[in-house]
Amino acid sequence: MADGPKLFVGLGNPGPSYARHRHNIGFMAVDAIAGRHRLPPWRRKFQGEVTEGEIGGRRVHLLKPMTFMNLSGQSVGEAMRFFKIPIADIVVFHDELDLVPGKVRVKDGGGVAGHNGLRSLAAHLRSPDFKRVRLGIGHPGHKDRVIGHVLSDFHKADADWLEPLLDGIADAAPLLAAGDDASFMNRVALVIQQSSTSC
């Protein structure tokens, strides 16, 4: 595994009207990481918002594309080329319909499964071989309800799993930066479990 800088990308849509949408859980994840590790304020660059710093002793750049989901690859491609980060060191946080709410799975490469943000990244990076952190938001049960599901706000009751999930991701981010995906997933699951038992 390379010891160079990583690029953590959160996928979402810009603006306050989208801020609490399920589709924006990627933004929420990188915001949680930036806050926990006391990274500098976000600034505008690469058609997005960026910050960077040391996470677990490794240099990590964080990026939130502000192009809207379907054009996310434009922003990520610019940042990748500027920082000269190989595609294997790009980690993308995104919503995942096929995982139950609160579940996290890390995956290297693969298809885009109808996710427009991932499709845009694969096109602009000319490869699907970036790492994905799949954040479960659950499936509404029928394909006709998917768009409404992802483009609606989390319910108040979702805070019971969403807040521990984001806390776990922020806590375990150094493991992800180090490339220890299995330990990252285990640590996130442990934080969520500890939260549920303490309630």
Q: Mean pLDDT over residues 18-44, rounded?
A: 96
23 in catalytic set = yes
Mean pLDDT on 9-25: 94
pLDDT of 115: 85
Give the CA angle between residues 151, 40, 18 to the nearest 5°. Answer: 10
Q: 21, 23, 61, 149: which one is catalytic?
A: 23
* Amino acid residing at 142: H
Identity at 70, one-letter amino acid code: N
Strands (E), 30-137: 43-45, 48-55, 58-65, 90-96, 104-108, 131-136
State how far the Cα of 112 lies from the Cα of 167, in Å rounded to an integer: 26
For the entire predicted model, the pTM comes to 0.94
Q: pLDDT tens digit string along 117-176? A: 999 999 999 999 999 999 999 888 888 888 889 889 999 999 999 999 999 999 999 999
DSSP 170-194: HHHHHHHHTT-HHHHHHHHHHHHHH
Please report which confidence band the pLDDT of residue 198 belongs to, taking 50, 70 and 90 as the band edges: low
- What six digits make up the tokens of 154? 């989390």
Q: 11 by DSSP, 3-state: which?
A: coil
Q: What is the DSSP string of 123-175?
A: HHTT-S-SEEEEEE----SSGGGHHHHHTSBPPGGGHHHHHHHHHHHHHHHHH
How high is the pLDDT of residue 147?
87
Q: What is the pLDDT of residues 71-83, one digit of tens each?
A: 999 999 999 999 9
Question: Are the CB atoms for 176 and 106 separated by under 8 Å?
Answer: yes
Query: Which domains are seen in the chain, by residue range?
Result: 6-198 (3.40.50.1470)
CA distances from 10 to 53, 57, 195 (A): 16, 21, 24
Q: Which residue has the higher pLDDT, 115 or 184?
A: 184
